[in-house]
Amino acid sequence: MNKNAEIIERITGSEKHGLVRQSDLIKIYDHSLSLYVHFDLKGAAPKVSYFEKLFPLLHKWGVTGICMEYEDMFPFDGIVSSIKHKQAYTKEDIEQINQLAKDNHLDVMPLLQTYGK
């Protein structure tokens, strides 16, 4: 059995017991991989307390990063402040989310929509 097949078999067997080793997820046949979870925060964005509970689980499950698509939940200010949602995250919320991610060894990839021609 080749190395890829062995790793995939180990992951499949581990999933039956709810255990996936992070080392199995980040390397497949000597190729480093990253596993990101995408959060589309438009609409009913979760409270920061939700991330406090979720991020440790994501890390446990082998996730290496998160993509945060803020859209109108970003705390825009100045000339663009009118495009933020009335319940948008505050700057402090964003800082806390980023710190929670760091504390749980998750890279953060912020994603903001931009408008153009």
Q: What is the pLDDT of residues 81-94, one digit of tens each?
A: 998 999 999 999 99
List, in sequence order, every beta strand (DSSP E) within the chain: 27-28, 31-32, 36-40, 65-69, 107-111
Distance CA(100)–CA(103), nearest Å, equals 5
**pLDDT surpassing 70 at residue 117:** no
Determine if the pTM surpasses 0.75: no
Nearest alpha-carbon partner for 5 in 24, 18, 22, 23: 24
Residue limits of CATH 3.30.750.90 in the chain: 34-117
Angstrom distance (rounded) from CA 38 to CA 44: 15
Architecture of the CATH domain 34-117: 2-Layer Sandwich (3.30)
